[in-house]
Structure 1
Amino acid sequence: MSRLVVVSNRVPTPRSNQPQAGGLTVALSGALKRRGGMWFGWNGQLSQGPISRPKLTTHEGIEYATLPLARTDYDDYYLGYSNTVIWPVFHFNLGAMDYHRHYAEGYARVNALFADALTPLLSPDDIVWIHDYHLMPLARELRDRGVTNRIGFFLHIPFPDYDVLRAIPGHRQLIEDLCRFDLLGFQTENDQHAFEESANRAVGALCRQPGQLRHRNRNLQTGVYPVGVDVDELAQLAERTVLAPRVRRLVQGLGDRDLIIGVDRLDYSKGLEQRLRAFELLLKDYAHRRGQTVMMQIASLSRSSISEYADLRARLEGLSGHINGTYGDIDWAPLHYLNKTFARGSIMGLYRAARVGLVTPIRDGMNLVAKEFVTSQDPEDPGVLVLSELAGAAAELDDAVLINPYDIDAIAAGLNQALAMPRPERQRRHTRMMAVLRENDINAWEERFLTDLR
């Protein structure tokens, strides 16, 4: 059987006797263990200069091939082009784009570095699966070095409409690069259609039928593969950890109050400002919720060296203080705002203890928080998901309370609806969403993509 080679910007550090943090990491590790393979990418460390020969280690049957980045490469490729050009544009936030030519040069340089380091490690029958927006040029770089293997690419973030995409200088080259893969996977049909239209308008690729493109005498397949979660594993984890001391103390402190929970990276794409303003509006317009509702917003720090993220943190801290100062009482703080990262088990327990999960990104490829919240719930007394209709997950979870993330009045009304929803309706919605999550779980995502890639 052919070997699977997974390539990602960042490779998780394998540790003995410690569970891996994210569901996606667990899924890819599982695929590599079952099929035999290698995980290649950046090890998260910085070096004094470029290093092209990766360090090889083996853990639990998986070979890890990792290399550090030079500081200038990290600044230009990762912080610069990946996160201040591609990330904001692909999330429809043109105002946050900060393009510099040396960013684009760094992006090309690191993809070439990765190709130089990866090519000697490949065998002729390896299947190569490349992940996410950091590595869009990598198939072309590998092809230029004579690699003829099947190469697939999965984009975890949204793909923008062409009129948004073309704001990026050199966007046609990005499309040309993506056309060098054999299979492109997207989270939703909207993303797939946006790419196919962009490929046609930017470089003249012909769409023979949905999912089949022809460009420069090469065939390219596209497909929709929504990322899922391990439903049974997460449900069992939530059932266990809701009884953990930290979660139990929270539940005891709530008393008969309802908990609304949000868990996100600190990022402008997550709609955090609109979310806090909507919670303030809930307390203002639905006075019976005062003293009876607590919101916990966990916003783990992310890319804090980029000015937009530091500014966002300052605004959110000011807004949370304003809400507590205006509506709080001696025995009730309405908002708990935390810039921390918590263990996965604790988060799942908090989800299960919550009456409402609030997930309101202004743009998101999928958003696994929404799926994890649904999976964590007690089927006999489930909480309600309030979900942005602009998250990829909304295409599957249409039994959530769907809202426009820019409309704080609608978010507040959705919160009130969720808090007031009777148990039979909550059970019906939860049952239908769980059926969808089981059908499109993390293992189905991996199996469908790799079957199509072969």
Structure 2
Amino acid sequence: MSEPNRRLVVVSNRVGPLVSGGKAGGLAVAMADALKERGGLWFGWSGELSDSGTWGPVNRDVHGSGSTAITLATLDMTEEDHSQFYEGYANRVLWPLLHYRTDLIDYDPKDEDGYKRVNQRFATRLASMVGPDDLIWVQDYHYLTFAQQLRMAEASNRIGFFLHIPFPPPDVFNVLPRADDMLRALLAYDVLGFQTQGDAENMIALMLAEGGERTSLTTVRIMGRDLTVKAFPIAIDAQSFAELATTEDAQIAQARAERLLNGRQQIIGVDRIDYSKGLPERFKGFKKLLEDYPENSGRVSFLQIAPPSRGTLDAYARIREELEQISGHVNGRFGDIDWVPIRFTTRGQPRSALAGLYRASRVGLVTPLRDGMNLVAKEYVAAQDPNDPGVLVLSQFAGAAEQMTQAVITNPYSDGDVAEAIQTALRMDKSERIDRYQALMEMLVENDVNAWRRTYLQALEG
């Protein structure tokens, strides 16, 4: 008989909900399905700040019973700890560092102390809730020091880490104050998972520079321990999202967009407002399209959906202001009474509506300056009509470009390159569009989110 699945403990900044398939996005779906398969515990911040200035009890919400029961366990945070841990060190230091934007790092030693303090407090609370055979899977840049703190609490479990955003080469990572301390903290994990092979190689190079020895393609021996360092490209449930694009809600959104377009072609971008997404550069690329290929005037509209992100940070407010200025300039210069070149909205859309909008768009424009993976690129392809699909234009600096080679790949830093890529996509004949779509969709179905989590958990089980 095969050995039963070991219980899974997931740690992430936010917890739940326990949803599956095409109804929610990214991490929530992957973690919910993994927990439903094995049973276990999902642990993280409640989203609430404690007015009392103290850390209260763990909040528990149990679903199901027996070996597949799932417990959602959350912990409130003090306002000071949240400010230093999340807004400070995580998003003013680690986020720009890991996206290669060292010029935007705003380092304060107090924020670093707060980051480590939150990791320690969460780890201490979790240590009392896990059994010796549990697998612990820690998510993302909020918890780089989490395993180190668990080890200090005498946890001997297999502990894995997955980074959802890029990981830079050693010369960039070492800009971080006390980078050697952070590396030692990461070495407390057993498995270090990254979005791309390039990210994994950057981590391995950092470890080798610190005296590690590469013992296989995915294993490094360092400080007396063997660590697995490997790419696990995160995915979507492509089949489920394709079905979502044919639901009534999606069809309503598609029909609404097509009425508004009135026979024009639509280019679509969907991103949070963030400097890593290259939105100002994207707008300038569309402007260049209208300048260099004037036949598109009156015939092509660009829809950018960009919900706010981390709105309390000045950098994000400046990006939104810049986007409003560029879109206003382009619309004033090129627009006509019956045609608005750029439609820019910060209102988020339900996933079913997004699926319909993707399907109504001849071009999916995904041009981050740096991105760990970018699931919008995968969702756009999955939502297409197989008989008349659109074309994905994808940044060479998105992690998805490593897998999605049939997209039209472009350099987001060059408005001329972006304009040329859009023009290529707009003028592509149907047979080539279908060939590219079929190849991409086959890859997405084969390498879906279920394969992602199972591959990672196999590595974590050792």
TM-score, length basis structure 2:
0.95
How far the C-alpha of 1:53 sits from its partner, in A, is 2.9
Q: Does 1:372 align with 2:375?
A: no
Aligned residue pairs, count:
452
Counterpart of 2:77 (choices 63, 69, 82) is 69
SS at match of 1:121: coil
The aligned residue for residue 16 of structure 2 is 12
CA gap 1:93/1:307 in 2 versus in 1, 3 angstroms: same
SS at match of 1:288: helix
The aligned residue for residue 3 of structure 1 is 7
- For 2:134 and 2:451, the matched residues in 1 are separated by 21
How far the C-alpha of 1:373 sits from its partner, in A, is 0.5
- For 2:182 and 2:411, the matched residues in 1 are separated by 31
How far the C-alpha of 1:294 sits from its partner, in A, is 0.5
Counterpart of 2:54 (choices 50, 53, 63) is 50
Q: Which runs of 5+ in 1 are unaligned?
A: none
Q: Is the 8 A contact 1:228 1:442 kept in 2?
A: yes
Q: Does 1:229 align with 2:236?
A: yes
Q: Is the 8 A contact 1:235 1:375 kept in 2?
A: yes
Q: Does 1:219 align with 2:229?
A: no
Q: Is the 8 A contact 2:271 2:306 kept in 1?
A: yes
CA gap 1:302/1:197 in 2 versus in 1, 3 angstroms: same
- For 1:207 and 1:129, the matched residues in 2 are separated by 24
The aligned residue for residue 261 of structure 2 is 254
> What code does the residue aligned with 1:340 have?
R
Q: Does 1:158 align with 2:163?
A: no
CA gap 1:281/1:374 in 2 versus in 1, 3 angstroms: same
Report 1:303-314 matches (<5 A).
Answer: 303-314=310-321
CA gap 1:170/1:444 in 2 versus in 1, 3 angstroms: same
RMSD: 1.5
> What code does the residue aligned with 1:226 have?
P
- For 1:195 and 1:341, the matched residues in 2 are separated by 35
Report 1:222-371 matches (<5 A).
Answer: 222-241=229-248, 244-371=251-378
Q: Which runs of 5+ in 2 are unaligned?
A: none
- For 2:113 and 2:250, the matched residues in 1 are separated by 51
Deviations 1:408-451 (A, max 9, x none): 10000100110000000000111111111122110000000001
Report 1:24-173 matches (<5 A).
Answer: 24-48=27-51, 49-51=53-55, 53-59=57-63, 61-173=69-181
Deviations 1:95-122 (A, max 9, x none): 1110010110011000001111101100
Q: Is the 8 A contact 2:244 2:250 kept in 1?
A: no
Deviations 1:278-314 (A, max 9, x none): 1011111111100000000001100011111111111
> What code does the residue aligned with 1:40 have?
F
SS at match of 1:357: strand
- For 1:125 and 1:208, the matched residues in 2 are separated by 26
CA gap 1:257/1:244 in 2 versus in 1, 3 angstroms: same
How far the C-alpha of 1:19 sits from its partner, in A, is 8.0
How far the C-alpha of 1:18 sits from its partner, in A, is 12
Counterpart of 1:408 (choices 397, 410, 415) is 415
**214-223 or 34-43: bigger deviation:** 214-223
How far the C-alpha of 1:52 sits from its partner, in A, is 5.2
- For 2:192 and 2:90, the matched residues in 1 are separated by 19
SS at match of 1:350: helix
CA gap 1:191/1:46 in 2 versus in 1, 3 angstroms: same
**46-55 or 92-101: bigger deviation:** 46-55
Q: Does 1:451 align with 2:455?
A: no
Deviations 1:166-196 (A, max 9, x none): 1110111111111111111111110011001
Q: Does 1:193 align with 2:196?
A: no
Q: Is the 8 A contact 2:7 2:134 kept in 1?
A: yes
- For 1:236 and 1:20, the matched residues in 2 are separated by 11
Counterpart of 2:216 (choices 209, 218, 232) is 209
- For 1:26 and 1:159, the matched residues in 2 are separated by 23
The aligned residue for residue 432 of structure 1 is 439
Q: Is the 8 A contact 2:250 2:355 kept in 1?
A: no
> What code does the residue aligned with 1:11 have?
V
Q: Is the 8 A contact 1:242 1:352 kept in 2?
A: no
How far the C-alpha of 1:210 sits from its partner, in A, is 2.2
Q: Is the 8 A contact 1:12 1:43 kept in 2?
A: no
Deviations 1:301-346 (A, max 9, x none): 0001111111111111111111111111000111110011111111
**260-269 or 49-58: bigger deviation:** 49-58
> What code does the residue aligned with 2:58 have?
P
> What code does the residue aligned with 1:193 have?
E
How far the C-alpha of 1:27 sits from its partner, in A, is 1.9
How far the C-alpha of 1:59 sits from its partner, in A, is 3.1
TM-score, length basis structure 1:
0.97
CA gap 1:243/1:19 in 2 versus in 1, 3 angstroms: closer
